[in-house]
Amino acid sequence: MDAILLQILNGLDKGSAYALIALGLTLIFGTLGVVNFAHGALFMIGAFCAVTLQRILNLSFETVDETQTDFLGNPLKVKTPYVEAWFGPEVGGSIIDWAVPLAILFAIPIMIGVGYVMERGLIKHFYKRPHADQILVTFGLAIVLQEVIKYFYGANPIQTPAPDALNGVMNLGALIGMDIIYPVWRVVYFFFAVLIIGGIFSFLQFTTFGMVVRAGMADRETVGLLGINIDRRFTIMFGIAAAVAGLAGVMYTPINSPNYHMGMDFLVLSFVVVVVGGMGSLPGAVLAGFLLGVLESFASMNEIKSLIPGIDQIIIYVVAIIILLTRPRGLMGRKGVMED
Amino acid sequence: MFGLDKKDTSMLIIVACLTLFAPFILNPFPTDSAMAQFNAGYPDLMQRFVIFGIFAIGFNILFGLTGYLSFGHAAFLGAGSYSAVWMFKLVGMNVIPAILLSVIVAGLFALLIGFVSLRRSGIYFSILTLAFAQMSFNLAYSVLTPITNGETGLQLTLDDPRILGVSATADGSIPVTSLFGLEMRSTFEMAIGPWAFQFNVGYYLCALILLAAFYLSIRIFRSPFGMMLRAVKSNQQRMNYTGLNTRPYTLAAFVISGMYAGLAGGLMASMDPLAGAERMQWTASGEVVLMTILGGAGTLIGPVLGAGFIKYFENIFSKINDNVLHSWFSFMPDGMEDALVFIVHPFIGKGWHLTLGILFMLVVIFLPGGLVEGGQRIKGWLSRRKAKDSNTSGETNPAE
Amino acid sequence: MGILEVKNVGKRFGGLQALSEVNLSVKENSVHAIIGPNGAGKSTLLNCLVGKLIPDTGSVMFDGKSVLGRAPYEINQMGISRVFQTPEIFGDLTVLENMMIPCFAKRDGAFELNALSAVLKQKDILQKAEHMLEEMNMADKRHMHAAAMSRGDKRRLEIGMCLSQEPRLLLLDEPTAGMARADTNNTIDLLKQISDERDITIAIIEHDMHVVFSLANRITVLAQGTPLVEDDPQNIRGNPKVREAYLGESA
Amino acid sequence: MSEFDASRRRVLKTGAIAGAGVALPTIFTASSAAAFTNEPTGGTVTLGFNVPQTGPYADEGADELRAYELAVEHLNGGGDGGMMNTFSSKALQGNGILGKKVEYVTGDTQTKSDAARASAKSMIEKDGAVMITGGSSSGVAIAVQGLCQEAGVIFMAGLTHSNDTTGKDKKANGFRHFFNGYMSGAALAPVLKNLYGSDRTAYHLTADYTWGWTQEESIAAATEALGWNTVNKVRTPLAATDFSSYIAPVLNSGADVLVLNHYGGNMVNSLTNAVQFGLRDKVVNGKNFEIVVPLYSRLMAKGAGANVKGIHGSTNWHWTLQDEGSKAFVKSFGTKYGFPPSQAAHTTYCQTLLYADAVERAGTFNPCGVVEALEGFEFDGLGNGKTLYRAEDHQCFKDVLVVRGKENPTSEFDLLEVVEVTPRAQVEYAPDHPMFAGGNLGACNPGA
C-alpha cells in the first residue's frame, strides 16, 4: 500500500513536468495553430536561466592564497563571490543558496522576451504554412538553441541544488498514519505546477483577455471579424506559454541537473502527452500529463516489471496506442483538429 | 523510354549519370589541396548518399503523395538491417538473400504497423507510428538483446554458423559480404594528376539499386495508383464519396515505403554488416522526414537531394577541426587568421549540428518547396535573364 | 416501388431526436426535392442515406438492397453519388485528373493496385474524362489546378465527376447555397439538362424555393425531424401546413 | 603526372600506376600493391581520433581530443614531452613515429554505433588513417573495433568499461588500456567490505543495456563473494531522466546499500535522485544506508555536485596521483589547457603513446607487427604502475583506483580523493573467466 501511494506521488510529480510542458504546447497550438517543436528547447532555456543566475550570483574575485597550491603547484587562487563580499558571508551565502527560487523572477521576463522574439521574428511567418514546415523550422530552431547553450555551458549536466531548507525529505504519510518519505522539493514542484496550471486556467476563464483568447481558439476567423486584434493577444499568449515552459524548467533543475539536450528528451514525450490528451485541449493536456506520469511510475514497480519484462521501457507508447485506438482524438480532443 | 515520358526519362538519365560518375563529381578537389576536406567521394559516404536516398525516396511515396507523416519509418530500416545481418550470420555472405529478406521483413512489419496506425489520420497517425518505432527501439536496446545484441549492435562473429558459407576464412577472419564472390568492399583506385578517385563495388551495387528504386518511384508517381494517393492527400472525403476505399491505398503506400526503408536497411547492412538499435530511434525517423521536406516533399528528386545534403554535413563538417581551419587561413596574417578561426570555430567540428540547424531554418524560411524549389528558382532566373538578353538584343537590332 | 425506399428511419443525438419516423420513396428518374426549415433534419437524413451516419431505427433500401452498415465508398459503388454543399473536389489535382478519378472508380472498383502502368496510357479513361469535360464546358480548363477555379466552376466539376460515374441516384446537398443569382440559374439549367438527357434519379436537398420549384417534380417537406407532407410542387405551394412550418420558423 | 611531392597518397598511387605500366585503374584487394591498409609511404602518418563531439558525452570527447592533440605534440617533439619522459620504453624519439611526422584527423561518433563507424570509415577510406582511437561508450568501442578488424587497421579503445570489449567481442586488432567492470568489482569489493562490513544487503539499479549488465554482474559477484547479499537487480531504461520511481521502492526493500550501475547523465540523475530521497540519512538494519557508484568519472561527478560527497567508486586514473608519470602528464596537460585532465584524457593519451611505441619497436606500421609488439608488452611510467597488455585478450592489467567523493573540495576539479590503489594482482582474472567467455580474438588483419 505504501509502495502504491509512493508511486502515485511519483507519478503526479513526473506528471507535473509533463503537464506543464504539454500545457504550453497546447496553448501555442490552440491559439496560433503552430506545432512548436522548439517547446522542449524553451523548457531547457528556462532551466539554464537558473544555471545562469547561479553563475551570476557566484561571480567571484580571486585572491591569491600563498599557503595553498593548485594542481600545478602554483599558489592557489581563492574565489570569493561578490555577493558574499557585499552582503557578508551569511546573507550572501543564503542568496546563493536560494538561486533556484530566485531564478523564477529572473526567468519570467527572459522567457516572455524569448517567446516574444520567437513569435514576432519567426513563428509569425509560418501561420499560413503547412504543419510540416512549422515542424521543420521549429525543429531547426530547437537544434540551434540547444547548440548555442552547449557552446556556452558544455554538454555535461550542471548541478543546481535547491536551497538547503528545501533539500531534505518530509513524511507525507504522517497525517494518515503511514510512512511516506518524500523529498521536499518534489512536493514543492508539484504544488508549483498545480499553481501555474490553476493560474493559467483562471486567467483564461475569468479575464476578458482570456475570454477573447478562448474564443479565438475556438473560432479564429469570427473573433477576427469582430474587430478584435487577436494577433497581438496571441503573441502575448506565446510569451506566456514560453514562460510556463521556462518556469517548469527552472523549478526542474534541482530534481535533475540540466544539460543542453534535456529539451529534446522531453520533446517527444510531451508531444505524446499532448496528442493523447487531444490536440488543442488544455484540460486534456493536463490530464494526459498526470495520467502518463502515474502509469509510468506504476510500470517501473518491480512487481509489474517481473510480470511483463521491459514494460517500463514502453509503457508511455503502449498507453498512447491504446488510447488513440479507442478514442480517435485522444482523451479530450476536438474533431477536425490536425486530422489532415 | 522505359515507359516514361520525355521529361521523366531525361531526369532518370541525369540521375543515372550523377550516380555513376559520383566518384568524380564528389571529388572535385585535388587530394592534397586544402579543399580536399570537402571531397565526399569515398566509398562509405557515397554508399550512405545512395542508401539514404533510397530511404527518402520510399518515404516520399508515403508522405509526398498521401500526406501521411510517419514518424516511425526508421523502425523499418532497423528491421531490414537486423534481418540482413541475421542472414549473414546464419546463411552466408551473399547480399542478395539478405536484401530480399530485409525487404520482406520490413514489408510485413510495415503491414502490421500500418494496419493499426492508418486507422487514424493527421497528427494522431504520426504519434501512433512514433510510438511503434520508439517501442521497437527501446525493446531492441534492452529486452530484445538476444536478437538485436542491444547497445553494441548485431555484429558478425567467427562462430556464426553460416550454413552456405564459412564461419571464418582461411586466415582466421570473418568473411566479407559479397555478390557471388564479388566483394562489396573492393575498391578500384584511379589517379589522374593530383586527383584520386575511388570506385567501390558496394557503391555501384547500391547505385544500381537506387536507380531501380528511383525508376520504380517515377512509375508509381505517374500511375493511376500514384494519382489516387495524391487524391487521398487532397480530399479524403471526396475519395470516399467517389466509391474509392482510401484505407487499402494508404496501406499499400505505407507498405511500399516500408519496403523501401527495409531495402535501405538491408543495403546498409550489406555494405557494413552491423545493425544497431539507434537506427530505429525517433531521431533517425525524424532525419528522413527532414531529408524529404528539405529536398522537396512530393517531388521526385527532392528526397535524394535532401538525403545528400544532410549526410554531407554529418560526415564532412563534423570532421573539420581547428587544425584544418588554421591550414586554410594560414596565408593570412596571424591576427586575422586567429580571428577567422575564432569566428568559424563554433560552426565546424563539434558545432556541425549548429550549422545544420541554421541551414534547415534558412531553407525552410526562404525555400518552402525545399531544395528543388531553389533549383527551380535558379533555373527560372537564368531563363528570365536569357529571355531578357534576347529581348534586349531583339530591341537593339532594328535600331542598328 | 421507388429506387430509394426510406422506412421508419429515426436518429437520436443525445437528448435530441433529430429524425423520427421518416418515410420516403424516391421514384426512378424523378427529381425529388427534400425541403424544410433549418434544423429540420435534412442533412442528418442525407448522411443516413450515404453511410456517414447509421440510423437508430428503420431501413434504407436502394434498388432493393439495404445500404445500412455500408461504408460511403460501398454505397457509392452501388450507384449513389453525392454532391456537397461546398464543392468537394481534389484541389491539388488538375481538372482533368479530377475527372479521371471517378472514371477509374467506375472501371476498377473501390481499390486497384495499379502502380506500374502510366496514367497517360489509360486511353479509355482519358477519353471518357475529356468527353465529360467537354460536356461540362470546361475542356479549356483541363490543365488548371482545380483549387484555382471559381466556385461555380468547382460546382460544375463536382457534378461532372459524379455524372462520370454514371450513378443511378444523384444526391445534391443545397447545390446553390452561397451562389450568386447567375450561377444559381446556370446550375438549375445544368441540372435540368441532366435530368432531361440522362437516365438518372435526382434527390435534392434545398433551402431555396426558387431552385426547388424550378427543378422538382416531387417534394417532401421535413419539419422537426419528420416528414410533414409529400406531394407535387403545385400542391406544396398552397399547402397551409408548409407555410406554417416556414413562417413559424421565421417568426 | 610528373609533379608530385612526397605525399603519402600520391606516392602510393603513383607507385601502383608505375607498376601497372599505364595510367589505368589499379585494384586494391588482397595481395595487391600495398602490404597493409593505408601503409604510410610519405613523410607523415595519419591517426584517426574518433570521439563524441555531439550528444551527452561531448565534454568527455572534447577532453579526449585535447589529450590526443597533446600526445601528437609530444610525439612530434613539441612541448615538454609529458609521459614520454617517464614511460619505461624509450623507443620514442620525439621525431614522430618511425621518423614520420604524426598528423591526425578527427571525427564525431555521436555516441552511436552507426555514426561512429561512418566516421571511422571515412578516416580509413578518405584520410588514410592507419590507426583509429577514441570513444566514450562500450557500444561504440565494440562497433568500431569490429570495423577496424575488418578494415585491417589498429583500434586503440578509448573510454570503454564493458567486459565485452575484451571479452565476448574482443578482436585481434583492438586494444584496451581502460579497466573494466570485473576490475571495478574486484577492486571495490574489499574496500566496501572494510568500510561497511560483510553483512550487507545490496540493491542494484542498472542501466538497461550491455555495459550496465556486465557491470552489475561483476559487482554483484565480487560483493557476494565477500558475504554480501543482493536483494534486487532492477533495470532502468536508458532514456530515463527521472529515477524517482526506481529509487522509491529501495526505501522499503530491506537493502542497506544501493549500487548505481549508471554512467554519464544517468549516473548524475540517479545519484541526485537517491540523495534527494534521503537515502543517505537512513538507517536500515541498524546500519547507515550507503550508495556506491562503481564507475566514477570526475567530469560526471561534477554534474552531481555535492551529492557525490562520501560516495565510493572506482576509476581508471585520477589527476591527484603522485607517481612521476601522472605528475608529468598533469603538468603538461594543465599547462596547455589550464585544468587537470580527466581519466578519459589519460587513457587516450596513453593509448596513443602505446601505439606509437609499439610501431617503433616493431619497426613497421603493419597492424600485425603492432599487434605482436603490444601483446604481452609490459611497461611502467604511464600513471598506473606496472602494466601488462595481456596477449590473450588485449586487455591492460594495472592498478585500479578506489575513490571517494571529497567532503571539502578545494577547487572545481578536486572532487574525488583516492582511497586505495588496488594492486594489479587483485584485479587479474583468467582469460577464460566466464564473464569474458564466448569471444574469439581471431587473427590480426593487415587488410589490403
- A113/A107 Cα distance (integer angstroms): 10
Half-sphere exposure of A322 (CA within 13 A, CB side): 7
Share of chain B above pLDDT 90, in %: 57
For B84-122, write each residue's pLDDT tens digit: 999 999 999 999 999 999 999 999 999 999 999 999 988
Query: H/E/C letters for each residue in A151-210?
Result: HHHCCCCCCCCCCHHHCCEEEHHHHHCCCCEEEHHHHHHHHHHHHHHHHHHHHHHHCHHH
Of D13, D105, D442, the CB nearest to B158: D442
Average of per-residue pLDDT values in chain A: 87
Q: Does residue A86 have a pLDDT over 60?
A: yes
Residues of chain A in contact with residue D269, where contact means CB-CB under 8 angstroms, are 157, 256-257
What is the secondary structure of D365-412 as a DSSP string? --HHHHHHHHTTEEE--SSSSSEEE-TTT-BEE--EEEEEE-SS-SST
In whole angstroms, give the CA distance from residue A211 to residue A209. Answer: 5
| Residue B399 predicted with pLDDT over 70 | no
Ranges A120-129, A270-279, B256-265, B271-280, most confident:
B256-265
Report whether pLDDT(D12) > 60. no
Alpha helical stretches, state H, A254-281:
262-277
User: Residues B309, B315, B319, B324: what is their CA dihedral angle, to the nearest 10 degrees?
Assistant: -50
Question: Hey, how many other C-beta atoms are within 10 angstroms of the C-beta on C56?
Answer: 15
All residues at 6 or more sequence positions from D138 whose CB lies less than 8 Å from its CB, including other chains: B151, B152, D160, D161, D162, D164, D165, D210, D211
Higher pLDDT, residue A322 or B338: A322
Radius of gyration of chain D (CA): 23
The minimal CB distance from B315 to the residues D65, D118, D210 is found for: D118
- By the CB < 8 Å criterion, does B212 face chain C? no
| SS3 label, residue A129 | coil
Residue B189 pLDDT more than 80?
Answer: yes
What does the angle CA C142 – CA C145 – CA C151 come to, to the nearest 5 degrees?
A: 95
C17: buried, middle or exposed (CB in 10 Å: 19+, 13-18, 0-12)?
Answer: middle
Which of A310, A50, B356, A153 minimizes the C-alpha distance to D239?
A: A310
CA distance B395 to chain C (A): 34
pLDDT at position D328 over 70: yes
The pLDDT, as a whole number, for residue A62 is 83
Q: What is the structure's pLDDT at B321?
A: 84
> Kindly report the CA angle at A66 between A60 and A70, in degrees rounded to 5?
70
For the segment A224-244, the average pLDDT, to the nearest whole number, is 82
Grid coordinates of A264: 529534446
- Closest residue by Cα to residue D205 from D228, D164, D234: D234
- DSSP symbol at D323: S
Confidence of residue A88 (pLDDT cuts 50, 70, 90): confident
Render pLDDT for D344-396 as a digit per residue (tens, 0 to 9).
Answer: 999 999 999 999 999 999 999 999 999 999 999 999 999 999 999 999 999 99
> What would the grid cell of residue C49 be?
442515406
How much is the average pLDDT of C191-201? 90
Distance from CA of C162 to the nearest CA of B (A): 7
User: Does the pLDDT at position D2 exceed 50?
Assistant: no
pLDDT of residue A339: 66
Query: From residue B124, how far is each of A278, A284, B232 by CA, in Å?
Result: 9, 14, 17
Minimal Cβ distance to C119: which of B227, B233, B240:
B227
For D296-308, what is the mean pLDDT? 87
Give the side-chain half-sphere CA count within 13 A for A70: 19
Integer CA distances (angstroms), A88 to A58, B264, C41, in order: 14, 65, 79
Q: How far is CA B198 from the centre of its chain?
A: 20
Chain D CB within 8 Å of residue A155 CB: yes
Least confident of A29-33, A73-77, D190-194: A73-77
Burial class from Cβ neighbours inside 10 Å (0-12, 13-18, 19+) for residue B386 reads: exposed
Helix (H) or strand (E) holding B37: none
Radius of gyration of chain B (CA): 23
First to last CA, chain D: 25
> Phi and psi (nearest 5°) for C36?
160, 160
Task: Report the distance separating Cα A112 and Cα A202, nearest Å.
Answer: 19
> Looking at residue C248, what is its pLDDT?
57
The band of A176, judged by pLDDT with boundaries at 50, 70 and 90, is: confident
- Mean pLDDT, rounded, for C6-13: 90
Q: Find, in chain B, the residue whose alpha carbon is nearest to that of C107.
A: B243
Q: What is the mean pLDDT of residues C157-186?
A: 89
The ranges assigned to domains in chain C are 1-79+169-251, 90-166
Q: Per-residue pLDDT averaged across B347-369, rounded?
A: 88
pLDDT, residue D299, reads 85
pLDDT band at D209 (very low <50, low <70, confident <90, very high): confident
Average pLDDT, chain B: 89
Judge whether residue A170 has pLDDT over 90.
Answer: no
Task: Look at residue A147 and tell me whether its pLDDT is greater than 60.
Answer: yes
For residue D7, name the pLDDT band (cuts at 50, 70, 90). very low
Instruction: Give the helix/strand (H/E) hosting A223.
Output: helix A220-225
Show residues of chain A in contact with D57, CB under 8 Å. 155
pLDDT tens digits, B282-311:
889 999 999 998 899 889 999 999 999 999
Q: Other C-beta atoms within 10 Å of A109: how many?
A: 12
Q: How many CB atoms sit inside 10 A of residue A66's CB?
A: 7
Contact (Cβ atoms closer than 8 angstroms) between residue D40 and residue D130: yes
Structure ipTM: 0.89
D26 pLDDT band, cuts 50/70/90, is very low
Within an 8 Å CB–CB cutoff, is residue A157 touching chain D? yes
Counted across chains B and C, CB pairs separated by less than 8 A come out at: 111
The residues with which B198 forms a beta bridge, in sequence order, are B189
E strand or H helix at C60? strand C57-62
Q: Identify the pLDDT of residue D231.
A: 93
Residues D237-260 have pLDDT tens digits of 888 888 988 998 888 888 999 999
DSSP state of B94: B
Q: Where are the beta strands (DSSP E) in D97-173?
A: 101-108, 131-134, 154-157
Name the packing angle between helices B74-90 and B246-271 (round to 10°). 50
| Nearest-CA distance B62 → chain A (Å) | 14
- C1-79+169-251: CATH topology is Rossmann fold (3.40.50)
pLDDT at D402: 95
Comparing CA positions, the residue from D17, D344, D421, D22 lying closest to residue D187 is D421
Max CA pair span of chain D: 85
Confidence check: pLDDT of B393 > 80:
no
Which chains does B contact via 3+ CB–CB distances below 8 A? Answer: A, C, D
Q: Where are the domains of chain A?
A: 17-258
Interface check B343 vs A, CB under 8 A: no
What superfamily in CATH does domain D182-315 come from?
A: Response regulator (3.40.50.2300)
For residue B331, what pLDDT is reported?
82
| Closest chain C residue by Cα to residue B235 | C90
| Chains adjacent to C (≥3 CB pairs closer than 8 angstroms) | B
Residue B266: exposure state from Cβ atoms within 10 A (0-12, 13-18, ≥19): buried
Chain center to CA of B103: 16
Looking at residue D31, its pLDDT comes to 38
pLDDT value at A338 more than 70: no
pLDDT at position C244 over 80: no
The number of beta carbons lying within 10 Å of the beta carbon of residue D273 is: 26
Looking at residue B165, its pLDDT comes to: 85
Determine, for residues C120 and B3 on separate chains, whether the beta-carbon distance falls below 8 Å. Answer: no
Contacts of D2 in chain B (CB under 8 A): none
Q: Which residue has the higher pLDDT, A27 or D27?
A: A27
3-class SS of residue B180? coil
Residues D379 and D373 sit within 8 Å (Cβ to Cβ): no
| pLDDT band for position C150 (cuts 50, 70, 90) | confident
Q: What is the mean pLDDT of chain C?
A: 88
Question: For residue D306, what pLDDT is reported?
Answer: 87
Per-residue CA distances from A25 to A251, B321, C106, C229 (Å) = 18, 38, 45, 53
Q: Do B231 and C90 touch (CB under 8 A)?
A: yes
Distance from CA of B383 to the nearest CA of A (A): 28
In this predicted structure, the answer to whether residue A15 has a pLDDT above a threshold of 50 is yes
Check: CB of residue D15 under 8 Å from CB of residue D39: no
Q: What pLDDT is stored for residue B64 in this prediction? A: 92
D44-179+319-393: CATH, from 3.40.50.300, 3.30.110.40, 1.20.120.1760, 3.40.50.2300? 3.40.50.2300
Q: Which of residues 102-161 of B touch D (CB under 8 A)?
A: 138, 141-143, 145, 149-153, 155-159
- Amino acid occupying residue C215: L
Q: State whether residue D199 sits within 8 Å of chain B by CB.
A: no
